[in-house]
Structures are given as C-alpha cells and as structure tokens.
Structure 1
Amino acid sequence: MPKQQHLCPALVVAAPSSGSGKTTVVAAIARYFTNLGKTVRVFKTGPDFIDPNFLAFASGQPVYQLDFWMCGEAHCKALVAEAAQQADLILIEGVMGMFDGQCSSADIAAVLGIPVLAVIDAAAMAQTFAAIAFGLSHYRQDVAMYGVFANRVGSAGHAQMLKDALADSLTFCGYLQKNSGLTLPERHLGLVQAEELADLDQRLDLAAAMLAETAKLKLPPPVALQAPQAEPLPLLLVNCTIAIARDKAFSFIYQANLDVLQQLGAHLVFFSPIAGDELPLCDALYLPGGYPELHLQALQANQVLMQQIRLHAQSKPILAECGGMLYLNRSLSDVDGVSAELCGVLDATAQMQDRLCALGLVEADFSGQKLRGHSFHYSKTQSQQWVLCTPIAQSGREMDPVWQQEKLIASYIHWYFPYNPQLVASIFKGEL
C-alpha cells in the first residue's frame, strides 16, 4: 500500500523521570505557539487520559495517545502523519523516564524519526544537570537530541550555570523558574482534570509569557512523517445511536475511540449523569471511566437516569469501563467508607482503596477476537457476574476479569477501539 509523506516540525519532549514537569513544559510551548496563530498538534506517549486533557486545552486541538503495543505501530504513524498535514508544530509528550517501558519516549522518537527535547528538573542541582543531559543524549545512538530544557530553576544566574556546564554538542533551549505558580495539582490517578481548574487559561498564558522571556522559542526543523494509507472502515454501526456519559465523573475517553465509532457509522450523543441528565434515546450505551467516587452524591441523586439505564440493560448493549462499571454496580464506597447505592445493574459492589490495585496494558480474547487497552484503578470489586474472559497484561500476568450480562460488557479496562474496530462494532450491536 502506498505511503503518504508529510513534512512538519516535531519534537518528542522527554525527561529523566516522571515528575520532571513534562506536561507543564509541553502545555506552555503549545500555548505559546498557539497564541502566535500556529496550529499545534500534541500527542501523549502511553495510555494516559489526564495529561492529554491539559494539552488539548493548551493547544485547542484534540490529543491522541501513542503506544506501539496498545495502538499498533502503523496506527501511531498514521495518527502523526495525518496531524502533520495541517499542523505547524507537532509535540509528543513522553512517558516516565526517557528510556522506561516497553514503548518508551526514546522508542517513539527513534521509530518516528523525531528529535528529543529533554526536560530536566534542575531545582536541586548545578553541573550534574549537564551530566544527566549528556547521558540522555548518548545512551542510544538511534535517538537524536534536539536540545535540553531546565525546569524549576532558581534564578537567571542558576540557569546560566546550567547552560555553561552543557557539552558543546547540546543546545540549551531555555528554562522555567520554580515557585512560578505553574505547578499542576495531582490526585490518585494523576493530575486533577483540566476542567477543574478555573484559572487554567491564565496559568497557561503565564507559562507562555515566561517561556518568551527565558527560552529560545523557534520551530524545530521539519521532520518527514509517513504512514501507509489506511482503508476506510466498513459502516458496521450505521443507523446506530450510541449514548456516551461524559462529565467530571466519566471523562476517560480516548479521542481515537470516538473517531472509530463515527467512522463505523455511529451517531454519538453525550450526556452528564452528575448534571441530572436523562438517558438520551439510543441503541447502545457507553460508560467510560473517570472519577465516580468523587461524585457519589450527585450520581445517587439522579434516580431517573439509573432507572432508565436498568431498563436499557434488559435488552440493549452497554459497554462499561472501570468507573463506568462501578456506576453499574449495586454500590460504591469511597476510602472513608461513605457508600452510595447506584444502578444495581450488576450484582457487584466496589470499595475504593488507598493504594493502586492494578496497572498495566492488557489484552483480552473474545472467542478469538482480541482487543487491547489499559487498566489503572484504586478500587476492588466483588462481583457475582458471569466471567466472559480473563485479560492478560502485557507483562503476562492475569488481570481483573471481563464480566458479561446479556448484552452488557463490563470490566476495569479502558479499551482502545482502533485496535479491533470490527469487534467493537459487535459489542455495540450486542452480538457477543
């Protein structure tokens, strides 16, 4: 199949470790160039939901995830090449440390041929900054280093010290000072959600203004990005209306999932359980993950919706992921033991824990048809439902099961629909 090639300036923004401030720096760069009238397309390495919300807010453009195992290498290449058709700049935020994981930031950079901007937290170091930068740039010969960015710098003098220590082969691309008010708050699944920060616009504009003063902000050289031209998906969901819960309680939705449903022919309608919405007229229901445990009172108060969902479940398809599944259980208790009676569609109860219960990319086998996704949760579920299959993590261990009841499929997994669109269509048509 012929490949399409597009030229676009692009950077992978990586770091020595998690917590270095990659998201803040990427969001600031995206907002800076967006404010200049440039179209900035941002991607996130790995299956994360929360960072992409901030990056979408900063750039004003949808953000997609990149992981060669969960998404497929060809699919990742296609997403980036497609973005290059209309973007002035592509930024790919890395994951964890630059070389960490089975699809690391370095892997993304090497496979796509995109240079790396390394963000290093310099708050408690001086010349060691240069040693870390040198190590990052020389650890793998197949990764090109564009430059180095210092985060949480104490002063302009501190920044100059960091710059002077760098090897001649490395470019100092600027810095952000610590105690700048730009740090983004966190909770148990990562950062708080973008829509929860009323002053996020002001924070991002401040970050962009700071970058203008302290960084060498110019577009990097164009990169040739190419991918095979994909065949259009069959219209397996034409005339199918899918209602999707979307609000602060149910916000973990891959943009690529919505794209696939529409490419399959589905009509999507959105509703907010915590705002008191009723269930829209629909043929199928999609309940994604999120933070239902933070909105128990509002969810329990919407009795009309819960009754409508119970009726829907008697004859129509439902796909429930993680927090969406917890909403369908008989009850959910938070870490303090405060419990709410919820939909009761599933014969199950769940209890929030004070520590992580499961984390990893997973694959499930639906009678020979496979689908991949991601599991990341702080709750435990006791369920009496029939087990459809037991997903296997990328590491090889067994994960929490996929439960089935009539045309309802429920699990802790956030599925990645583009991995197997035909199977996804079968789920929403109730054909499993």
Structure 2
Amino acid sequence: MNGFVLGGTRSGVGKTVATLAVLRALEASERTVQPAKVGPDFIDPSHHEAVAGRPSRTLDLWLQGEDGLRRNYRRGEGDVCVVEGVMGLYDGDASSTAMVAAALDLPVVLVVDAKAGMESVAATALGFRQYAERAGRDVDVAGVIAQRAHGGRHEAGIRDALPEELTYLGRIPPTDELEIPDRHLGLHMGEESPIDADALDAAAEHLRVERLLELARAPTAPDAGGASAASSGTGRERTEKRVAVARDEAFCFYYPATIERLRERAEIVTFAPTDGDDLPDCDGVYLPGGYPELHAPTLAESPALDRLAERSADGLPILGECGGLIALSESLTTTDGERHAMAGALPADVQMHDRYRALDHVELEAKSNTLTAVSGATLRGHEFHYSSADVDADARFAFDVVRGDGIDEGRDGLTEHRTLGTYCHVHPESGAFDAFVDSL
C-alpha cells in the first residue's frame, strides 16, 4: 500500500485538519484510504476514523521498533495510506515524524502556515528539505500543502515561489468551521466534535489529489526473518479465555492493534461502565485510558466498578492503564474539589490538576513477574496525564521507571492481588498483552 506522511513545521500548524481534508479528497476520488498517526496519540486517530470510517494505525518507533512499525503499517488496508505526523517534522527524541518517515521510506508532505506569507512559505519548506540533507537524515520532503491560504494571488504567489523539487499540493482555506475544540490531553474526540462535513468537503476541493497519489510510494518491508514481540515465544496460541474490555466515553484510549491482538488470542466482550453495564463474566479485564474525570459521578454509581472490586479481591486478573488506573483507585477528586468513590481495588487516591503532570515516552523494568511482563523484562510505552496518585505507604509496585515519571517516585504498576494499574500505555508490539492473556 503506497503512502505519504503529512509533517508540520511546528505543533499547532493545522496538521490534523489538513489530514482530514486529504482523507476526504482521496475518498471523493473513490480511493479507499487507510489513515495512520505518528506517535502514541489516541485523539487525532479518532478524528481520522470519523472521516475515513476505519481505525487509524499507530506508528511509533519507541513503542514498536522499526520492524514493528513496518508490520503495523502493513496491517492497514486500502489504496493509499495517509500518515499524520506529530509536532514539528524533526521534533521528538524517541519517535519524531522524520524518524518514522525515514524508517518507512515514505515521502513527506509539509504543512506550512501561509496565513501571513507567500514566498516565505516556499523558503520555509525549502529550509526543511535542505535541513534533512545537511543533517544527513534520510527524509524526503517532497511537497507542500499551504494551510490557511487564500486563493488567487495568495495561492499563486506560494505556488510560483516553490522550487522544482517541491510539489505544490494545494491549500486549506482559512475558516473557523475547520477548527477543532481542545481541552486537556488535546483535541476533543472525533465523535464528540466532528468537523463540519461541508467545510471539510470545501477544503478538500482545493487539494491536488492526483499529485498526492503520484508522490505516494510503497514503504520499506519488515525483516522477513524477524519475529515481533507479540508473536514470538511460547504460549501464543489461541486460548478459550474471555477478556472483558471497557469501551465507552470514559474508556476510549486504546490502540486498534491492541484489540486486534486480544481478539487473536481470546474472546473479547465489551462493556460500558458509564452506561450502567455490569462487569460481564470473564477470565480477565482490560480498562484502557480515557476521561474518567469527565464521568466521575456516573462511574461512582456504576455496578461494574463495584463488581471490579469484588472480582479483584477474588484474584481476577485486571489491567488498567491511566484512566483504568484511576477507575481502579479508591477515589477521584476533580479540579473543582468534588471527591468521587472509584472501585477501590488499588490503594491510591487520585487528584486531577489543571496542568499536565507527565508527558513522555516511557520505559519500565519489571521488578518481579506481573500481568504484563516477567521479572527483569522491560516494556516501552508512553504517559500523558493531568492527575497524580497519592498511594498508601505500604503500596506495592510492579515496575521501576527507567524513563518517564510513573506513579510514585520512579515506580509504576500499582498492584494488589492480581490487579495491575499503570500510568503507562503500552502497545501490543511490546508483548504485554500476550503476557496478559497467558496469565489468565
């Protein structure tokens, strides 16, 4: 599947809107499009899915490694893959957009803010291309989309100023209807605040679809002899186990690859704690991250949380990541000072804050055997949260933090019975979810 990467000159330049317009333009040309996202983000992919009608693939070198990155790309389906970058093209020490584009050998379409520029847009784009050459980076900046550009003389000035080696690929017109509301952790989710379809269609009309398709190319294939962490080792066959996965507005941060891998290994049954669902009969539970703080009163009354506490005490394997950790704690206090009881399966009280408390790629080392790793093994993931956890003095932790912050003083993986809660989100390429199924 051919593809290309949409990289930005900086954060906030409008990569997501440009990506959605490109998805719309390609679909209007009757191409089947596979969206993807550089980095560990959950929110931008929800907007991709709302427009493209299929889950967006996560592409992150830190979480997946080069071969894992390439495998996840190849699991996508469609005529062309559109990859949205993260931050500015070269920003990020663990998995920048440039690193991912180079690992896949995909061309980069640079999104440049043209609100107050014409020839300067060309100069900026040329600088990004020449920076790769000077720094010895194998990054092919091949074209430009002008964000917030008017038509007529403005567009012509940008197009005519571009050197031959940079293809003009169209513009995104300036309009308030193309803005996505934001909040802590980023934008609103795609289902909450979808961009006006008519505005998106209007923007798509200004993109040069055939030129985009001419630029797209097939990525580097994964090593045929290499085995992914998710498929290597013993005990990886299909089981008869049943895993309950929370999926609703409070628990909406999960990678499509995680659900895919769990389905390959076990039967999956979903439940929605915010809709009043009880915990289904199961052999294990996965609580992904999300926004429990926005649904704290509802969760406090949820029969599923009461059942989680009971089943945790009985030794049921339960894994909670970030928002899942919060739901498994004793209580959650929101920024307005309201305290709400949570499941009480883990000895911690969580407090929400107005500013984020951690944001980084993470590496954990298992102190002993636990649900997602054997003793001494390392897991790579990421953390991004606005909460902190006040843990009991005798709390036990499964991981030491090699990189990142964790829950408490360089420790992550709060554990009680066979319940494990982390601030760290991991990808199935880490092998964590295979280990989880094997532990059931």
TM-score (norm 1): 0.90
Give the deviation of 1:128 after TM superposition: 1.7
Q: Aligned AA for 1:80?
A: Y
Distance 2:116 2:410 in 1: 39
Which of 415, 423, 428 is the aligned partner of 1:417?
428
Contact 1:31–1:204 (8 Å) recurs in 2: no
1:87-110 superposed Cα distances (whole Å, 9 cap, x missing partner) = 211111111110111222112222
Aligned to 2:140: 144
Distance 2:344 2:353 in 1: 21
Correspondence list, 1:119-198, <5 A? 119-141=111-133, 142-197=138-193
Give the deviation of 1:13 after TM superposition: 0.4
Q: Aligned AA for 2:177?
A: G
1:48 equivalent to 2:41? Answer: yes
Contact 1:319–1:428 (8 Å) recurs in 2: no
Contact 1:175–1:215 (8 Å) recurs in 2: yes
Contact 1:49–1:253 (8 Å) recurs in 2: yes
1:266-305 superposed Cα distances (whole Å, 9 cap, x missing partner) = 1111111111111111110111111110111211122x22
Give the deviation of 1:408 after TM superposition: 0.7
Distance 1:47 1:430 in 2: 26
Contact 2:397–2:411 (8 Å) recurs in 1: no
Correspondence list, 1:175-254, <5 A? 175-197=171-193, 200=194, 203-212=196-205, 214-218=206-210, 219-225=213-219, 226-229=221-224, 234-236=235-237, 238-254=239-255
1:208-244 superposed Cα distances (whole Å, 9 cap, x missing partner) = 33222x2211123452332234665654560111101
1:149-201 superposed Cα distances (whole Å, 9 cap, x missing partner) = 1111245332222223322332211111112401111111011011112xx2x
Contact 2:241–2:282 (8 Å) recurs in 1: yes
Q: Aligned AA for 1:228?
A: D
Give the gaps of 5 or more residues in structure 1: 1-7
SS in 2 for 1:401: strand
Give the deviation of 1:398 after TM superposition: 7.0
Distance 1:78 1:13 in 2: 20
Contact 2:63–2:426 (8 Å) recurs in 1: no
Give the deviation of 1:429 after TM superposition: 4.9
Distance 2:166 2:42 in 1: 32
Which of 403, 417, 436 is the aligned partner of 1:427?
436
Aligned to 2:277: 277
SS in 2 for 1:220: helix
SS in 1 for 2:73: helix
Identity %: 35
Give the deviation of 1:325 after TM superposition: 0.8
Aligned to 2:86: 95
Give the gaps of 5 or more residues in structure 2: 367-374
Contact 2:177–2:199 (8 Å) recurs in 1: no
Give the deviation of 1:206 after TM superposition: 3.0
Q: Aligned AA for 1:288?
A: P
Contact 1:260–1:418 (8 Å) recurs in 2: no
Distance 1:126 1:183 in 2: 22
1:339-377 superposed Cα distances (whole Å, 9 cap, x missing partner) = 211111122111111111011111212212222111100
Give the deviation of 1:418 after TM superposition: 1.8
Q: Aligned AA for 2:420?
A: I
SS in 1 for 2:145: strand
Distance 2:166 2:24 in 1: 25
Distance 1:195 1:215 in 2: 25
Which of 379, 395, 399 is the aligned partner of 1:389?
399
Which of 402, 407, 413 is the aligned partner of 1:402?
413
Q: Aligned AA for 2:397?
A: V
* Structure 1, 317-326 or 227-236: larger mean CA deviation: 227-236
Aligned length: 414
Which of 94, 97, 101 is the aligned partner of 1:109?
101
Distance 2:209 2:218 in 1: 21
Aligned to 1:5: none
Distance 1:158 1:79, change over 3 A: same
Give the deviation of 1:430 after TM superposition: 4.2
SS in 2 for 1:340: strand
Give the deviation of 1:49 after TM superposition: 0.6
SS in 1 for 2:278: coil
TM-score (norm 2): 0.89
What CA RMSD, in Å, does the superposition of the two structures yield over aligned residues? 2.2
Give the deviation of 1:204 after TM superposition: 3.9
Give the deviation of 1:381 after TM superposition: 0.5
Distance 1:179 1:36 in 2: 23
* Structure 1, 31-40 or 221-230: larger mean CA deviation: 221-230
Distance 2:351 2:199 in 1: 40
Aligned to 1:313: 312
Contact 2:107–2:216 (8 Å) recurs in 1: no
Q: Aligned AA for 1:99?
A: Y
Distance 2:73 2:433 in 1: 23
Distance 2:178 2:108 in 1: 23
Q: Aligned AA for 1:35?
A: A
Distance 2:296 2:183 in 1: 17
Aligned to 1:349: 349
